[in-house]
């Protein structure tokens, strides 16, 4: 029961971080809100490492062994692959909202640059650790469990959406982080990851996007003649999305 309460707290923690991602050029945020994503990601990564190193410790707030036992006792037949697709939903939502002319923080070319840089940084960190053989998966002898790539991708995407649309409404952020939390939960329920993998993966996803947004030079904004548009459909009338970039 202690572990279930801990997992419930973790889910709530992921989602209360969502409002802190509101950070646009026209929104004045407090110093606390500016540092909260960095503090949250650091805490998540550190906690993930700590739990992974001592995964059987009964005195931890959360530990791998007890969460695995709860999963095996109550959800042993859980097999739902939605996490393979949900991890991309928050990022895709940004471009869908762009297509329907909902004004974002940045224009589409800028968004693409920010997203690509975040992805490259996340992949370098996450897969670097995975390839180190730090942790064996709970369902196989493969030593590429830590951290969870699906969870990192989901939280990267959620942070990306929150930066672009969180300034318009807190519910964009809440929805994005709720989806990301669902992905992390399903990775554990599907027996593909330990809880430590998911916790650290969330931190890596958040911090990858935060680093990129804090260091990006916004070069597209210097080109006043550059215009872009994104809209549903194609010139031929087929289903899809059309992107135009004009200089």
Q: What is the residue range of 207's domain?
A: 2-10+30-72+80-217
Interatomic CA distance for residues 208 and 117, integer angstroms: 9
DSSP 241: E
Q: What is the mean pLDDT of residues 153-169?
A: 95
For residues 109 and 228, is the Cβ–Cβ distance under 8 A? yes
Interatomic CA distance for residues 119 and 226, integer angstroms: 24
Within a domain: 225: no
Within a domain: 247: no
Tally of domains in the chain:
1
Question: Model confidence over 220-247: pLDDT tens digits?
Answer: 554 444 444 555 555 665 544 454 545 4
Nearby residues of 90 by Cβ (< 8 Å), 6 or more positions away? 154, 157, 158, 160, 161, 175, 176, 179, 180
- Which pTM does this prediction carry? 0.81
**Coil, helix or strand at residue 183:** helix
Mean pLDDT of the chain: 82
CATH number at residue 6: 1.20.144
Could you tell me the pLDDT band of residue 23, with boundaries at 50, 70 and 90? Answer: very low
Within a domain: 223: no
Question: Model confidence over 60-111: pLDDT tens digits?
Answer: 677 898 899 999 999 999 999 999 999 999 999 999 999 999 999 999 999 9
Question: Model confidence over 100-137: pLDDT tens digits?
Answer: 999 999 999 999 999 999 999 999 999 999 999 989 99
Within a domain: 18: no
**Nearest of 201, 182, 177, 197 to residue 17 by alpha carbon:** 177
């Amino acid at each position: 029961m202690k572990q279930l309460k801990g997992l419930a707290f973790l889910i709530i923690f992921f989602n209360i971080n969502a409002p802190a991602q509101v950070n646009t050029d026209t929104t004045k945020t407090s110093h606390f809100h500016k540092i909260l994503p960095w503090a949250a990601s650091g805490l998540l990564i550190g906690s993930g490492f700590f739990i992974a190193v001592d995964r059987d410790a009964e005195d931890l707030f959360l530990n791998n062994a007890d969460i695995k036992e709860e999963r095996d006792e109550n959800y042993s037949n859980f097999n739902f692959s939605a996490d393979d697709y949900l991890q991309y939903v928050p990022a895709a939502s940004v471009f869908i909202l762009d297509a329907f002319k909902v004004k974002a923080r940045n224009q589409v070319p800028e968004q693409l640059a920010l997203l690509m840089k975040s992805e490259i940084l996340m992949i370098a960190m996450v897969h670097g650790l995975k390839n180190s053989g730090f942790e064996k998966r709970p369902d196989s002898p493969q030593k590429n469990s830590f951290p969870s790539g699906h969870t990192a991708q989901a939280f990267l995407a959620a942070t990306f959406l929150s930066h672009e649309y969180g300034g318009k409404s807190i519910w964009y952020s809440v929805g994005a982080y709720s989806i990301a939390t669902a992905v992390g939960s399903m990775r554990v329920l599907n027996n593909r990851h330990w809880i430590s993998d998911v916790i650290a993966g969330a931190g890596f996803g958040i911090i990858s996007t935060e680093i990129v947004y804090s260091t990006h030079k916004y070069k597209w904004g210097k080109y006043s003649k550059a215009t872009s548009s994104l809209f549903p459909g194609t010139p031929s009338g087929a289903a899809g999305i059309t992107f135009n970039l004009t200089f």
